[in-house]
Each structure stands twice: as C-alpha cells, then as structure tokens.
Amino acid sequence: MALALIIALPFFGVIFPLLTERLGRSACSVAAGIAPLAALAILLSKQSAVFAGEVLRVKLEWLPTLGLNLSLRLDGLGFLFALLILGIGLLVILYARYYLSKQEPMGRFYAFLLLFMGAMLGVVLSENLLLMLMFWELTSLSSFLLIGYWSARSDARKGARMALAVTGGGGLALLAGILLIGHIAGSFELSRVLASGYAIRAHELYPLALVLVLLGVFTKSAQFPFHFWLPHAMSAPTPVSAYLHSATMVKAGVFLLARLYPALAGSEWWFYLVSITGLVTLLVGAGMALFQHDLKGLLAYSTISHLGLITLLFGVDTRLGAVAAVFHIINHATFKASLFMAAGIIDHETGSRDMRRINGMWKYMPHTAMLAMVAASAMAGVPLLNGFLSKEMFFSETLNLHMLGSFNWVIPAGATLGGVFSVAYSLRFIHDVFFNGEPINLPKYPPHEPPRYMKVPVEVLVFLCLLVGIVPAYTVAPLLAAAASASLGGELPVYSLAIWHGFNLPLFMSFIALFGGVLIYSFRQPLFRWYAGLPSMDASLLFERGVVLLVETCTAITQRLENGSLQRYLSLLLGAALVVVTLGLGPLPEVTGAVAMTPINGIGALGLGILALAALVTVVFHRQRLVSLLMLSVVGLMVALVFAGYSAPDLALTQLSVEVVTIILLMLALYFLPAQTHGESSSIRGLRDFILAIGSGVMVAMLVFAVLTRPYDSISSFFLANSLSGGGGHNVVNVILVDFRGFDTLGEISVLAIAGVGIYAMLDGLRLIQPRADAQGRNWARDRHPLILATLSRVLLPMALLISVFIFLRGHNQPGGGFIAGLITAVALILQYVASGVQWTQSRLPLNYHRMAGAGVMIAGLTGLGSWLFGKPFLTSTFGHVAIPLVGEVELASAMLFDLGVYLTVVGATLLILANLGKLTQEKAGQEVL
C-alpha cells in the first residue's frame, strides 16, 4: 500500500496550502511541502529493494472486465522519475514561495502544483496502462491550470489552451494506441505487455499502434512538428516552467518511450519514426533557441532540442542508446530546472526577460550569475559537468549506427551540428545576460541578489550537476543502472561512466561543437539580422487561425446538411433507408422464393385493386384536401376488408372503428386549415420526391414479395397451444394482448393515455382563426345539428353501448375485446357530439375523460400488481368457472379486469382528443361544428 500512498499523498496534500493560505506565504509553502516530503520519505525507504532489482507491485481490482485495475509498479525507472518529480517538486515549492508576490493567490498555485505532482507520480508508477492514461490526461488538465495561472493575461490563456489542445489530442491518440496494444498483448498490465514484445512487433496492427502511441509521446514531449506549444507555455509562472517544462511533464513522453521500450522498440518502424523525429527536433530546437531574445524562450527551445536528443537516443535502438537516454533525462532535468529558476530570478529582479536589455548582470548578482553559468555550461556539454558525460555517450552512440547504409554519416553530423548550436545558445545565455556591457532601460533598476532562500534550490541543483559531472561512479551510477535496466527489461550493456575515455572520435565531435559554437556566437549579429528578415511564423496565430478555420468548416458543413428544411432531412433519411435496404436485399439471388403463390381470386384482386387505386387518387387529388381525405377513408375501409379477407376479424373490427375516429379527427383539423394546397415545389424537388416515392414503393413491394414466397417458422404455435389451457380464452389474439404480452399492452395503453393528455395540453390556450365560409366562399349551413341525425343518434346510443358491452364480454373467446369495445363506445359517444354539439352532450354526459383514461391505466396496472398478493410474478393471470343460477356456467378471468382497463383507457383517451378538439370550434357561441 506504500506505493498507493506515494501517489495519494500529493492529492490529499492539495487542501493544506488552501487551508493555510491566510497564515502567510511561508506557512503556506511549508504546508504545501508536507505531503511531497512524506511521499519522498516513503519512496526512499524502498530504495534498497529497487536498486536490488526488485519490482514492487500492488494490485487492486477495479473494473476487471475492462482490463482496468488499480495496479501500481515501482521499479528502477519509476523510482528515478518519482525521485525527480518529488525532489524537484520540493525545490520548486521552496522557490515559488519567493517568486510569487503577496497579491497572488498562493494557495491555489500550490494546490494546482500538488495536483499535477500526484498525476505525474501516477503516470510513472502505474502498472496498468489504462490507469496510466487516466493520470496522463490528468497531467494535461492540471498543466492547463498551471500554465493559465495568471488567467487575467490573454497570452497565458492562449498558451494554456494550446498546450491542452495539443497534449490532450495526443492523449486521445495514445488511448487508441494503448487499446490496440492491450488487444494484441491480451492485457493492459505492463508486465504482460513488456513480456509480449515479440508478439506485438509481429502483429499486423503494430505499425498503427506504434504511430498512435508515438503521437501521444511526441505531443507531450514537444517533438517536431508538435513542438510549438512549449514556447507558448512559457507564459506560465517560472516555477511552473522549471517544474513542468524541464523536469516532469515534457519528460512524460520520453518516459513512455523508456517504459514501452521492450514492447515496441526493435523494428524498422521504430527506428525511422523515432530517430528521425528526434534528430529533426534536436536541430530545429537548437537552431531556434539561438534566435530567441526572450530568456525563457531560449530555454524552451533548448528544452525542445534536448528532448529531441533523448528521443533520438531511444530511436537509434541500441541498448547503450537507451542507457544514454535515461542518463540524459537525469542530467537535463537538473541543469534545465536550475536554469529556469535562474531565469526566473533575473526576471524577478530586473522585471524583464529580454536579453537585448538585460546585460552585465555579473556586476549586480554575482552569486546567481555563477550558478547560472555553471548550469549553462552543463547544458553546453562542458567537461566536468553532467551534461558532458551524457553528450559524449550520445556522440559515440550516433557513430555506431548502420541502419542508414551510405547515409550513416547523417546522424553523427546532425548530432554535432546540434551540439554546435547548443554551445552557441548556452554561450549566449552566459555572455549576453551576465556580461556584454550595461543593462538597457530595465523596469527595475538597479537589480540585486534575490532573497537567500530563493537561491537554495538553484544551488542544490547546480551542486548535483557538478557532483554527477565529476564523480559519476559514486553518485548517479546505481540510480542509472536501476533505471536503465528497468527500462531495457533485462541485462544492462557494458558502459563506463568515466570522465576520460582517451582521444577518440566523440571527444573530437565535442571539440568541434565547442569551437563551432563559439564561432557561431561571434557571428551572432549578422545572424540575428538575417533571422529578423525571415517571414515571421507565429505559431499561436497559426494555431488560432487553424481553430477558427476548423470551426468555420464544421459550421459550413453542418449548415449545408442542416439548412432548416424538414423536407430535406426527411428526403435524406428516406434516401439513406433506401440505400440500406438495397444493400440488404442485394445478396438475394432472386426475389421469388421457394413457396408457391396462392391462386388469384377475383374478389381479393378487386379489393387490392381498389385499395391501390384509392391510394393513388389520394395523392393525385392531394391539393383538394377534402377530396383527398375522402379517398383516404376509402383506403382505410379497404384495409379493414383486407384484414377481414385474410382471416383476421379482430383487426378488421379495430381498423373499422379506428377509421371512423381518424376521419372525424382529420375533418375537424381541416376545418381550421386551408382547404387547398397550392403547388410550390420546384420541378427538381418534385422529381426528387417522385423518385424517392417510387423507390420506396418498389423496395417495399420487393421486400414483401420476397418474404411471402419464402418458407416460414413462427413461435405462434406456443400461443396456440397454451391459449386455452394457460390463458383460459379461445381468442388467441386477445389472450396474447391481455395475458401473454400483457406488459406490452400496459405500456401501449399508457402511451395512449399520455398522448391524450399531451394533446389536451397542446390545445390548451390555442386560438385559431375560424373560417366563416368554405373554400368556395359559401357560408356554413345554418342548421348545425340536423334534427334527423340528432334524433337517430340518440336512439342509436344505447344500442351501440350494448354492442360494445357484448363485444367486450365475448372478447376472450370470440373476436372482440377491450380495444374494439372501447373504440365502439368512443364512436357512439362522438356521434352524440357530432349530432348535438359539445355543450349539449357534456351537460348531459358529464364524464371526465382524463380520469377515465387514468383509471383505465390504473386498473390494468393494479390487476397486474394483484398477482403479487398471491406470490406470482407481475401480470400473472388466472381464470375460473363460476356457476350463476339461471345463467349457467360463466368463465371469469382476471384478464378481463385487465381488459376493462384497456377499454376505459381507449374510451378516455379517444374522447379526450376529439371532444377537446371539437371544443375549439365553439369558442364563439353559435359557431360550433360539432
């Protein structure tokens, strides 16, 4: 559990600085330091085990089915990085105490910093790759907060946004890469992944997985062409730059290269992708660094260049190269963090970071100058400093390459050129800032040494640079060995950390770099003039422009697709459906199936013919709405007849009664709508609709024909066999509705009731213009309620109700049931409304249709719940036979109660809709049509 604590402590520590913020800056920074200090102590207590080559693991299952576990791992590599994160983190906490001014919210700063620290520790100590990715994204998020700490400044916000966009986007690619690796290796646990390196490289998806992982690595470690975010992240407070952009976050990318080295390295893909990217980044970064006038800009580009160097070392894919890379990670972290801190001190004391104005600082702050000069020399690779050792290893590695054939000289030459520039910009940092005359027009003058303790972190780091540079074997050797062997996943190659290797080619390259650097620096003035003449390339401007362009393109595409025309959406939808069905039907060898067709009978053919003809007439006369509506009712009646003809009496009855209410409904609606539709579609649109309609029709016809002529197996035999014995009814359709599939029916009547209530709500407060005359200008008839209709309908009502009761009662055994009975009742009641008007009917028939529909759903639901009383599942039905004197034996089924609920809902909902729509027509007295 100690491992989990190392990660958890910084997260817990987030609250301490927030709580102690009011007690002053010193108290706040001490509080912030507690958690990392404790974590560092725990880490160091594991040192001997790790150096002995042990791999400490903790595993807690989290989402094992997804392969995501809370599993952690501490080996040499993780130890090295955790040490850097915690150690430099503590120094940065001390440094920031003096860097931040009193007015700045220090608690928030430390809270963000600790959040980032925890996330970073999570990245380096995760055993599970998915877990690592979560921490990886968390570092992107927390670095966004840190870069944007001075949120009032626009450059800080822009820089933070750019860093988040680039590293976050890379994180997504990394996620995809990790998922692929997990798929290939069969696990996301590092130990499994690292052990299956051979299988991964042999897999056909390896190139894709590698490219995706490298995208994540290159964006995080600011490799060309994704390097542009790092210089813009320099708008962060300098402690943040010292921490994130030298020692930790940008190292997460190269950490992953080291971590996955055994799994991914060792292929041509790896060699070319990683080494060429590294080489280009090394050169671009080193070249650009020389031309920066901003102190932090120089350091940022130099960081890019050194990260390129580390990447190149991993890319050359020799075991010794990986050792040199790990070594350079350590060295770069120490000298670059101290340089950033020194730059921060200079900025803090002079108020400027412009190297053209800051000159001659040696006179004003000799102590700081000394420290910065040592660190800059380490960066340049001057002997007796740590940078020299790893740079020598780097040069000698570049000489051992044979992958490029006759172009083998390219990498050593590039490395030497990078070295030349590295010396030149380091020299510029030293000479331009600390010597080179007097300062020019500084905001704070005269500058002086910073507070004592602000220099302590720099002193510690510079001391380490010297110590490692002079006695490497007694200081860094065991740490390097543990980390490198963990990265390589096995035996270390033979290497020597000696300062002196004799006169050899790498030493010669170092000399070239030193003298070349001095030479270039001495020609800096013409070079700067040349650079100033180049067209300016502002990455942030390009980035912002890219973002704007992306948004505009997306908007344009969206607006082309979604221009607000519903007709267009619908035609796209139908077109897409046509394409899908065509693709689905495509593989059929032929439409006609094996089953023989039934012979044509005259009456059936006539019925279908009328159906088709009526449908066509509906369309042809669709501009004359009333005519079209009448033809529609013919179609509906023919559909009912088709049901009757094909032995479905229940359907025929339902269709017949629904047809009546539908047509009444549409008639009512038509009263408020224009009687005619004017032609307004363009010819092209008309043609498009025609083609879509024909296409849909042909497709449906083919589909139906294909199905009908093919053999068929149904689950209905179950219902037929069990209807009588299990449901107690002869009418299988009804038994299915109220018993077998009762739950469906319950849902359906609920929908019906909800639709009724919804329509009621939509009609509430609706005001429509009431036409005084019909389309031809004739006034409506004065006789609104013809006497014959009124009289007849009143006579018909009891008969209709009687029939509906009959239909309801016999429904379980004969065609009928709650749905049909409900519709018949509804039709009978609506007839009263039509014949005598809404007011007349409602005063005599004060039914509350809301309650009726609600009661129906409730009865059906309660019937279902009733079966719980008997310990049966929801909606279990029962039936029995009761002997009633005189009447004889009567069957009673609980399903009939359920059917009663259906009946009430249908009546309630139908009348809720129609009666309320009818009411609209009588807003003014004497105007009602119903």
Partner 1 sequence: MEALFAAALGILTASGVYLLLRARTFPVVMGLTLISYAVNLFLFAMGRLHTGVSSVIAEGAEYGDPLPQALVLTAIVIGFAMTAFVVVLALRSVGEMQTDHVDGQEPGR
The footprint of partner 1 on residues 627-686 (CB under 8 A) is: 628-629, 632, 635-636, 639, 642-643, 645-651, 654-655, 658, 661-662, 665-666, 669-670, 672-674, 677, 680-681
Q: Measuring CA to CA, how many Å separate 251 from each of 3, 80, 507, 537?
A: 21, 12, 27, 26
CB of 785 to partner 1, least distance (A): 23
CA distance 519 to 734: 99
> Residues 930, 921: contact at Cβ < 8 Å?
yes
H or E, element range at 136: helix 129-147
* Residue 707 is a binding residue for partner 1 (CB under 8 A): yes
Query: Which CB, 54 or 748, lies closer to partner 1?
Result: 748
- The one-letter code for the residue type at 231 is P
Q: Please identify, using beta-carbon distances, which residue of 199 and 663 lies nearer to partner 1.
A: 663
Q: What does each C-alpha distance from 603 to 68, 607, 635, 646, 795 come to in angstroms?
A: 67, 6, 16, 12, 35
Among residues 323, 913, 915, 929, which is the contact residue for partner 1, using CB under 8 A?
Answer: 913
Exactly one of 408, 475, 813, 876 binds partner 1 (CB under 8 A); that residue is 813
Q: Does 624 bind partner 1 (CB under 8 A)?
A: no
Residue 875 CB, shortest distance to partner 1, in Å, is 15
246 binds partner 1 (CB under 8 A): no
Beta bridge partners of 879: 893
The angle formed by the CA atoms of residues 335, 240 and 236, to the nearest 5 degrees, is 120
Closer CB to partner 1, residue 76 or residue 864?
Answer: 864
Hey, which residues between 714 and 743 contact partner 1 (CB under 8 A)? 714-716, 719-720, 723-724, 730-733, 736-737, 741
* Among the residue ranges 316-324, 427-435, 535-543, 603-611, the one whose residues contact partner 1 (CB under 8 A): 603-611
Other CB atoms closer than 10 Å to residue 720's CB: what's the count?
Answer: 11
Q: How far apart are CA 153 and CA 149, in angstroms?
A: 9
From 173-181, 538-546, 765-773, 795-803, give the range in contact with partner 1 by CB under 8 A: 765-773
| Residue 802 makes contact with partner 1 by CB under 8 A | no
Instruction: List the structure tokens of 846.
Output: 């004060």
598 binds partner 1 (CB under 8 A): yes
Does residue 187 belong to the site contacting partner 1 (CB under 8 A)?
no
Q: Which stretch binds partner 1 (CB under 8 A): 21-29, 300-308, 493-501, 907-915?
A: 907-915
Footprint (CB under 8 A) of partner 1, residues 555-574: 564-567, 570-571, 574
Q: 218 near 170, Cβ under 8 Å?
A: yes
- SS3 of 203-247: the string is CCCHHHHHHHHHHHHHHHCCCCCCCCHHHHHHHCCHHHHHHHHHH
The minimum distance between CB 559 and partner 1, in angstroms, equals: 15
Q: Does 915 contact partner 1 by CB under 8 A? A: no
Provide the 8-state DSSP code for 70. E
The amino acid at residue 815 is: P
Task: Tell me: does residue 622 bind partner 1 (CB under 8 A).
Answer: yes
Shortest distance (Å) from residue 781 CB to partner 1: 23
Binders of partner 1 among 37-56, rule CB under 8 A? none
Determine, following the binding rule CB under 8 A, whether residue 927 of this chain makes contact with partner 1: no
Q: Any contact of residue 883 with partner 1 (CB under 8 A)?
A: no
Tell which one of 202, 554, 585, 708 touches partner 1 (CB under 8 A): 708
Residue 748 interacts with partner 1 (CB under 8 A): yes or no: yes
Instruction: Tell me how far, at minimum, the Cβ of 621 lies from partner 1, in Å.
Output: 11
Is the peptide bond between 225 and the residue preceding it cis, with omega within 30 degrees of 0?
yes
350 closest CA partner among 461, 298, 342: 342
Q: How far is the CB of 741 from partner 1 (least distance, A)?
A: 7
Is residue 26 close enough to count as binding partner 1 by CB under 8 A? no
User: How far apart, in whole angstroms, are the C-alpha atoms of residue 342 and residue 460?
Assistant: 12
Give the residue, chosen from 709, 839, 842, 867, that forms a contact with partner 1 under the rule CB under 8 A. Answer: 709
How does DSSP classify residue 729?
-
Cα angle for residues 98, 102, 108 (degrees, 5° grid): 85
Residue pair 921/770 in contact by the 8 Å Cβ criterion: yes
Residue 185 beta carbon to partner 1: minimum distance, rounded to whole angstroms = 47
Q: Per the structure block, which two tokens stand in for 26?
A: 């010193």
Min separation Cβ 186 and partner 1, Å = 44
Query: Among 906, 907, 911, 929, which residue sits at the site for partner 1 (rule: CB under 8 A)?
Result: 906
What one-character DSSP code corresponds to residue 926? T
Q: Give the residue with the Cβ less far from partner 1, 292 or 916.
A: 916
Does 814 contact partner 1 by CB under 8 A? Answer: yes
Alpha-carbon distance 184 to 193, whole Å? 9
Of the pair 709, 922, the CB lying nearest partner 1 is at: 709
* CB of 523 or CB of 743, closer to partner 1: 743
Q: Figure out which of the listed residues 300, 485, 625, 854 binds partner 1, where binding follows CB under 8 A.
A: 625
The smaller minimum CB distance to partner 1, of residues 554 and 612, is found at 612
| C-alpha span between 240 and 446 (Å, rounded) | 26
Q: How far is the CB of 873 from partner 1 (least distance, A)?
A: 20
Task: State in angstroms the smallest separation of the CB of 623 from partner 1.
Answer: 8
Scanning the structure block, which residue is given the tokens 């980044």? Answer: 281
Q: Which residues pair with 74 in a beta bridge?
A: 56
Task: Confirm or reject binding of residue 315 to partner 1 (CB under 8 A).
Answer: no
Distance between CA atoms of residues 17 and 109, nearest Å: 9
Which one of residues 473, 551, 554, 762 is an interface residue with partner 1 (CB under 8 A)?
762
Shortest distance (Å) from residue 693 CB to partner 1:
4
Taking contact as CB under 8 A, which single stretch among the options 365-373, 396-404, 479-487, 766-774 is the one that binds partner 1? Answer: 766-774
Q: Which of 599, 871, 873, 888 is the binder for partner 1 (CB under 8 A)?
A: 599
Stretch 407-446: interaction string toward partner 1, x if CB under 8 A: ----------------------------------------
In the complex, what is the shortest distance from the CB of residue 19 to partner 1, in angstroms, rounded to a whole number? 56
DSSP string, 9-61: HHHHHTHHHHHHGGG-HHHHHHHHHHHHHHHHHHHHHTHHHHHTT--EEEEEE
CA atoms of 296 and 358, how far apart (whole Å) = 13
Please report, for residues 451, 821, 825, 832, 847, the alpha-carbon distance to residue 795 in angstroms, rounded to integers and kept in the order given.
107, 19, 14, 10, 20
CB of 36 within 8 A of CB of 10?
yes
Contact between 698 and partner 1 per CB under 8 A: yes
Q: Which is nearer to partner 1, 472 or 864 (CB)?
A: 864
Contact of 149 with 236, CB cutoff 8 Å: yes
At closest approach, how far in Å is the CB of 111 from partner 1?
Answer: 51
Are the CB atoms for 816 and 656 separated by under 8 Å?
Answer: no
- Does 611 engage in binding with partner 1 (CB under 8 A)? yes
> Could you say which residues in the range 525-554 bind partner 1, by CB under 8 A?
none
Q: Does the protein bind partner 1 through residue 775 (CB under 8 A)?
A: no
By CB under 8 A, the count of residues binding partner 1 is 110
Q: How does 536-568 read in b/e, with b if 16+ C-beta sit within 10 Å?
A: eeeebeebeeeeeeeeeeeeeeeeeeeeeeeee
C-alpha 199/C-alpha 203 separation (Å) is: 6
Task: CB nearer to partner 1: give 574 or 847.
Answer: 574
By CB under 8 A, residue 601 contacts partner 1: yes
Residues 652, 618: Cα–Cα separation, whole Å: 22
Name residue 889's beta-bridge partners: 883
The yes or no reply on residue 700 touching partner 1 (CB under 8 A) is yes
Alpha-carbon span 482 to 53, nearest angstrom: 7
Of the candidates 220, 214, 224, the one whose C-alpha atom is nearest the C-alpha of residue 233 is 220
- Binding residue for partner 1, selected from 554, 556, 701, 862, defined by CB under 8 A: 701
Site for partner 1 in 823-862 (CB under 8 A): 823
